[in-house]
Amino acid sequence: MGVNLECIPPTSGQVRAAMEQPVKDVPAGLWRYAAALPVAADAAVTLGEGGTPLIPMPRGAARIGVERLFAKNESANPTWSHKDRLSSLTVSAAAISGARAVTAASTGNHGASVAAYAARAGIPCVIFTLASVPETMKTLMQSYGAHVVALDTLEQRYAVMGQGIERFGWYAATNAVSPPVGSDPYGADGYKTIAYEIFEEMGRDVPEWIVLPVAVGDCLRGIVRGFQDLVAADLTTRIPRVAAAEVFPIIGRALDGGSLTDAAATRPTAAFSIATPYTTFQAVEAVRAADGVAVTVGEAELLEMQLTLGREGLFAEGASCVAFAGAERLVRLGTIRPDDRVVCLLTSSGLKDPFANRDRLTAVAHIEPTLDAFIQTLDDATAARLTA
């Protein structure tokens, strides 16, 4: 077993091998691409991550204004988010290094995922979260056996986490400084497999656009690198354009020449998973490398999109809805054309914060035990549709 200590990019031959020669005795998913990853398959700490579906969204496409829209449903991963790809690589590298513990600063998805994979590896885990995150997320992180504590600010989280890294040698599974620079490079490479899977799921082709929610940009960086791998291996001639969807215009500001070290104004948001006042150099450079754009989405837009996605069978976390709402806005702006193929990354399940849209839903009626009592709860159009 081994790890590529310098995280050197794979050769063209390694990428072609990863795409054409699945690893023996490894099921479909992230580790079938081990030839192109910085950790060997026999060192994998895995829960069966990857291999998530690319789902056509015809009604969503009609609403957004494109002919073909797809959801890459990362909520199908073991802890119901895309972070499992990062955590599998990160914790594998930590285990190889003999880490006494892994640590993370997280509002939920990243922390829960790291905690699960640390538990799988038998390594203690310490998570620094924010007091403001939903109780569901705190409970989820604790359920995997992690030591979870809450602080008031991002800066406090990073400061205490940094002390643990410096004093005790804990392995950092997330960014650990403010302003942020990004997470463990092994983990970011785990996100390359999203690009590999989309390429295969689209018949060894690439879409015109990938839209994803972005904060510090680990996933964005990994996806762009994955498509760059495919181009370098002569498996395709281009990479998709990317749209970094955000709730605060941090990447957009940086693309326009603004500072990465000045905090943006923030507000409470259902997209708390990406509610950071900072972005990173890696995020901005990944957008530029993919001839991409940034798009900012308002709270009403993302909450309405959550209901829209639910009516097509997908319950998405608030941050995921930012991607779909961002795609809709870019179509209105003329940036995305109606005939473009668009893949939106659904990063996590709405069950991570199930009450985000509570005020937009009608109360569940408590009825007498008769069918007529149920019908009386319906508006005329719905009653006609159900009973005609």
Higher pLDDT, 229 or 388: 229
The tokens for 364 are 């569940």
Whether residue 191 sits in one domain with residue 119? no
What is the reported pLDDT for 40?
92
Stretch 117-123: mean pLDDT: 98
What is the reported pLDDT for 370?
96
Residue 379 lies in a domain: no
Residue 7 lies in a domain: no
What is the reported pLDDT for 162?
96
Domain count, the chain: 2
Whether residue 295 sits in one domain with residue 196? yes
Residue 6: pLDDT over 60: no
How does residue 343 score in pLDDT terms, banded at 50, 70 and 90?
Answer: very high
Residue 12 lies in a domain: no
How does residue 8 score in pLDDT terms, banded at 50, 70 and 90?
Answer: confident
Residue 24 lies in a domain: no
What is the reported pLDDT for 20?
84
Whether residue 283 sits in one domain with residue 206? yes
pLDDT tens track for 162-221: 999 999 999 999 999 999 999 989 999 999 999 999 999 999 999 999 999 999 999 999
Residue 4 lies in a domain: no
Residue 21: pLDDT over 90: no
What is the reported pLDDT for 78?
98
What is the reported pLDDT for 23?
64
39: β partners: 3
What is the reported pLDDT for 22?
62
Stretch 140-159: mean pLDDT: 96
Whether residue 221 sits in one domain with residue 168? no
CATH number assigned to the domain comprising residue 116: 3.40.50.1100
Look up the pTM and report it.
Answer: 0.95
Residue 45 lies in a domain: no
Q: Which domain holds residue 287?
A: 54-80+187-359
pLDDT tens track for 39-97: 999 999 999 999 999 999 999 999 999 999 999 999 999 999 999 999 999 999 999 99
Whether residue 70 sits in one domain with residue 175? no
What is the reported pLDDT for 2?
57
Higher pLDDT, 17 or 79: 79
pLDDT tens track for 257-286: 999 989 999 999 999 999 999 999 999 999
Whether residue 129 sits in one domain with residue 73? no
The tokens for 72 are 């890459």
Whether residue 64 sits in one domain with residue 123? no
Residue 226: pLDDT over 70: yes
Whether residue 316 sits in one domain with residue 238? yes
pLDDT tens track for 284-342: 999 999 999 999 999 999 999 999 999 999 999 999 999 999 999 999 999 999 999 99
Whether residue 140 sits in one domain with residue 72? no
What is the reported pLDDT for 232?
96
